[in-house]
Structure 1
Amino acid sequence: MCRIVPFGEQPLVGDDEIWRHFEGMLAAFPELEHEVLSIHHTADVVILEGWFNGTQSADWQGISNRGQRMQLPVTVVSQFDGKSLVDGTLYYDHTVAARQLI
């Protein structure tokens, strides 16, 4: 099961909700960049810390477009069974994004 947990918003669970979320994000931030800061791991878990960076070019998640740049810290926790991904969660704080874009 994969999910997105934007703190301050409802968790998004399942392929359809996740795809809609990323489609909306990529429409609002068409030049969105992903920057990996660090990767931590155990035998069956990988934790990635990084940034989503981009300039808003359309309304997103109730935030009107003002052409502002966003640098959003994100964490991704992925659990594996052998080579198979069995669980994944992306965490970010929607309020951090909103403060930069408003």
Structure 2
Amino acid sequence: MPDRFAVPPTEVLHAREQLVLDHFHDEVRQDWNDVLATFPHPHYEIIPTLTVHDGDAAVRDYYHDTRVAFPDQDHEIIALRHSADAVIVEFWLLGTHSGPLGAIPPTGSKHRTRMTAYFVFDDNENLIAERIYFDTLTMLRQLLGGLNLRDPRNWPLVIRALRGLLAMSSTPNPTLVETLPADLTHR
């Protein structure tokens, strides 16, 4: 296990940062081959829904599904930080809910959701995971916020959206919930 206090040399941090910025840029361009080329084995962990997308086909499906839901998806980077084994990016994710998001029907509303992504690197400087954190209720509030909730005609859509949200997080991936405590002993 690498020393968690050993920050890599500046040239390694620059290379990691460039890879992450290219990754973000290629996602906005929806050039999936270039995005996938940033990983030796594509792997996404979406913490709010406790889902994992592992391997080329699963990650391509994830890209497809999120771009059906938000075809204009974009981001604004707030901050970028380095750790011993990761690049940590705080950003706003933006988009218009034009298609279904899993079981959540499209609302036509825009969202701007603050997120954090950990781009985790192995000992050989390969990107091995993108781990994303965000508040699903903040996003859902924005997606439903454009609807007039006093109009009973919108109630079925709201109910379907809430059911869809519950369905998306009803089967947590065991690798995200069956974790061991960190070893915080000093060397």
State whether TM-score is above 0.5: yes
Tell me the equivalent position of 2:71. Answer: 30
Question: Against the structure 1 CA distance between its residues 31 and 57, is the aligned structure 2 distance closer, same or farther, given a 3 Å change threshold?
Answer: same
1:37 shift after superposition: 0.6
Would you say 1:19 and 2:60 are equivalent positions? yes
TM-score, normalization by structure 1: 0.81
1:95 alignment partner, SS class: helix
Question: Against the structure 1 CA distance between its residues 87 and 21, is the aligned structure 2 distance closer, same or farther, given a 3 Å change threshold?
Answer: closer
Matches within 5 A, 1:1-102: 2-7=43-48, 9-15=49-55, 16-80=57-121, 81-102=123-144
- Paired letter, 1:100: Q
1:82 shift after superposition: 4.4
CA–CA distance in structure 2, aligned partners of residues 70 and 56 of structure 1: 8
Tell me if the contact between 2:81 and 2:87 (Cα under 8 Å) persists in the aligned partners: yes
Question: If each structure's helix is expressed as a fraction of its own residues, which one has the higher value?
Answer: 2
Question: Against the structure 1 CA distance between its residues 13 and 59, is the aligned structure 2 distance closer, same or farther, given a 3 Å change threshold?
Answer: closer
Q: CA RMSD in A?
A: 2.0
Tell me if the contact between 2:71 and 2:98 (Cα under 8 Å) persists in the aligned partners: yes
| Cα-to-partner distance string for 1:13-43 (whole Å, 9 max, x where unaligned) | 3023332222111112111111111001024
1:99 alignment partner, SS class: helix
TM-score, normalization by structure 2: 0.48
CA–CA distance in structure 2, aligned partners of residues 29 and 70 of structure 1: 10
Greater shift after overlay, 11-20 or 60-69? 11-20
Q: How many residues align?
A: 101
1:5 shift after superposition: 1.7
Unpaired runs of at least 5, structure 1 = none
CA–CA distance in structure 2, aligned partners of residues 26 and 67 of structure 1: 14
CA–CA distance in structure 1, aligned partners of residues 87 and 135 of structure 2: 20
Structure number with larger C-alpha Rg = 2
CA–CA distance in structure 1, aligned partners of residues 99 and 68 of structure 2: 7
Higher RCO (CA < 8 A, seq sep 6+): 1
Unpaired runs of at least 5, structure 2 = 1-40, 145-187
